[in-house]
Structure 1
């Protein structure tokens, strides 16, 4: 992920759900996902 090169991404292709562990705030992360042509929806926040 160019917006946060240290981001960790996990995928569950059967769901389909993608998880992102990033230092970006929620707004910046959603904007980066949208700019890549995808739709995002926050399902949960894990700390």
Structure 2
């Protein structure tokens, strides 16, 4: 696992949900228009699709 340091305003701990051929992470509406970064912190489940 790599280690990264990111400066920002808020941190959320959310689950990734399947949507169509991809996946989504929901964030608050007030984040619309903001730049965000998503960091995967665990391996995907073996039965989660791909």
Tell me whether the two structures share a fold, i.e. TM-score over 0.5. no
Q: Which has the higher strand share?
A: 1
Q: Which has the higher helix share?
A: 1
TM-score (normalizing by structure 2): 0.29
Larger Rg: 2
